[in-house]
């Protein structure tokens, strides 16, 4: 199949192009499109065959459920059989935006979307292209990230093409995504809402509205089985092994530098993903990708996935990365980095390596 490449202005999407893309979706075809988080691979969420085609194109395990994207808040009631007070408060505060709510499903939602669960995940995105596309399609749009399963999510149309060219019907190129990490997934079926996946809406923002939120145990203890099926799979991984260094910035930078030098000494092609201050310390032959200024978590989040993909293109043998503080968007960024590392983490405290 030939993948159509359609360029679109993100803030003022061309109606004719949007109509073409919406018609493809209504016909049961696959269209990748930008959102404020990452690029999504869309299909008609009420069409079983179209939803199954998403799993096939991505190579996604069939028990990993999909998020349904809607164009207006009222559409949630057609998919969820109950929307409780917590869910309503979150919708009012954060929709449209990077927040996905897990709610009890209606029978009309296909099993192919929910992976057979009794709940459904719903999001109202903020990106004008995404919203107009969903509105014109006239159906909820199932849309996981538009990458091959297990790979870093795409934040540009080119990254979508790199993974899925020839496997999907079209991609709408609306430029790079602003946030660069996926939506926060919150389970609203528990008495205290539970974060299943940290993302674009922070824990602090959720707490300001709800008073209290829980964090799924699997997010802090990787051996726990997560309640969000998607979190158990290998994710966001570049091709080379990635080692993550966590801890106080100066000590971490020193430990990473020692590791980089040792690997270069063994003749390896070494990648480093670090802040600008640490980058200045590294030997010139290091393939260095910068997050941006130390402490600027927003910039780091927006660059993470393109950075991981650039290491693939440069065919490095090993990647060493520093972490960030875990407040705000840092919780989501660290979650992605830890998964990308396959939990190969070195905790550096005050210059002492704690393994
Ligand atoms: P993706 O769209 O690929 O970024 O992933 C969607 C995420 O939402 C995955 O981690 C899924 O496991 C999660 N998810 C989707 N539907 C549900 C649901 N009904 N219950 C819990 N988690 C869900
Ligand atoms: Mg994904």
- pLDDT tens digits for 157-186? 999 999 999 999 999 999 999 999 999 999
CA–CA separation, 227 and 189 (whole Å)? 12
CA–CA separation, 54 and 67 (whole Å)? 12
Paired with 245 in beta bridges are 322, 346
Cβ 99 under 6 angstroms from ligand 1? no
The domain in which residue 150 lies consists of 4-219
In order, the DSSP letters of 184-219 are: EEEE-SSSS-EEEE--SS-HHHHHHHHS--EE-HHH
Residue 64 lies in a domain: yes
Task: Indicate if 66 and 168 belong to the same structural domain.
Answer: yes
User: Ligand 2 center to residue 288 CA distance, Å?
Assistant: 25
Task: Indicate if 52 and 174 belong to the same structural domain.
Answer: yes
Q: At what angle do helices 85-94 and 203-210 cross, to 10 degrees?
A: 130
Q: Report pLDDT for 237.
A: 85
From the list 81, 70, 29, 77, the residue with the least C-alpha distance to 51 is 29
User: Ligand 2 center to residue 281 CA distance, Å?
Assistant: 34
Task: Indicate if 154 and 268 belong to the same structural domain.
Answer: no
Cβ 149 under 6 angstroms from ligand 1? no
Q: Report pLDDT for 168.
A: 98
Task: Indicate if 96 and 36 belong to the same structural domain.
Answer: yes
Judged against a pLDDT cut of 60, whether residue 300 lies above it is answered with: yes
Query: 240 is written with which tokens?
Result: 């080379």
Q: In what order do the strands lie in the sheet with 242-247?
A: 287-290, 270-274, 318-322, 242-247, 345-349, 352-353
Alpha carbon 209 to its chain centroid, in Å, reads: 23
Confidence class for position 232, pLDDT limits 50, 70, 90: low
Task: Indicate if 210 and 252 belong to the same structural domain.
Answer: no
Q: Report pLDDT for 230.
A: 67
Query: 10 is written with which tokens?
Result: 């993100």
Q: What is the pLDDT of residues 31-63, one digit of tens each?
A: 999 999 999 999 999 999 999 999 999 999 988
Judged against a pLDDT cut of 60, whether residue 352 lies above it is answered with: no
Q: Report the nearest-CA residue for atom 22 of ligand 1.
A: 228
Q: What is the pLDDT of residues 273-289, one digit of tens each?
A: 999 999 999 999 999 99
Rg (CA), the chain: 20
The average pLDDT across 184-191 equals 97
pTM here? 0.95
| Atom in ligand 1 nearest the alpha carbon of residue 229 | 12
CA–CA separation, 287 and 273 (whole Å)? 9
């Amino acid at each position: 199949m030939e993948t159509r490449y359609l360029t679109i202005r993100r803030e003022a999407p061309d109606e004719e192009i949007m109509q073409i893309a919406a018609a493809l979706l209504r016909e049961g075809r696959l269209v990748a499109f930008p959102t404020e988080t990452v690029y999504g691979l869309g299909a008609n969420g009420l069409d079983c065959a179209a939803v199954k085609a998403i799993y096939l194109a991505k190579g996604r395990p069939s028990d990993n459920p999909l998020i349904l994207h809607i164009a207006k808040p009222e559409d949630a009631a057609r998919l969820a059989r109950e929307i409780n007070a917590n869910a309503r408060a979150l919708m009012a505060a954060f929709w449209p935006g990077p927040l996905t709510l897990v709610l009890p499903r209606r029978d009309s939602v296909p099993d192919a979307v929910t992976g057979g669960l009794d709940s459904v995940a719903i999001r109202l995105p903020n990106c004008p292209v995404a919203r107009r596309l969903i509105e014109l399609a006239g159906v909820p749009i199932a849309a996981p990230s538009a990458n091959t399963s297990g790979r870093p999510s795409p934040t540009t149309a080119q990254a979508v093409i790199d993974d899925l060219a020839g496997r999907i019907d079209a991609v709408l190129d609306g430029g790079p995504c602003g946030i660069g990490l996926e939506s926060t997934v919150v389970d609203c079926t528990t008495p205290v809402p539970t974060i299943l996946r940290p993302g674009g809406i922070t824990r602090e923002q959720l707490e300001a509205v709800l008073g209290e939120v829980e964090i799924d145990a699997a997010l802090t203890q990787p051996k726990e089985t997560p309640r969000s099926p998607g979190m158990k799979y290998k994710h966001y991984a570049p091709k080379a092994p990635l080692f993550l260094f966590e801890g106080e910035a100066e000590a971490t930078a020193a430990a990473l530098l020692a590791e980089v030098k040792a690997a270069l000494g063994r003749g390896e092609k070494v990648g480093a993903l670090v802040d600008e201050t640490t980058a200045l310390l590294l030997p010139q032959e290091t393939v260095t990708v910068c997050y941006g200024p130390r402490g600027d978590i927003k910039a780091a989040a927006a660059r993470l996935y393109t950075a991981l993909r650039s290491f693939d293109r440069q065919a490095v043998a090993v990647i060493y990365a520093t972490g960030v503080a875990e407040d705000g968007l840092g919780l989501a960024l660290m979650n992605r980095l830890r998964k990308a590392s396959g939990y190969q983490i070195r905790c550096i405290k005050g210059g002492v390596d704690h393994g």
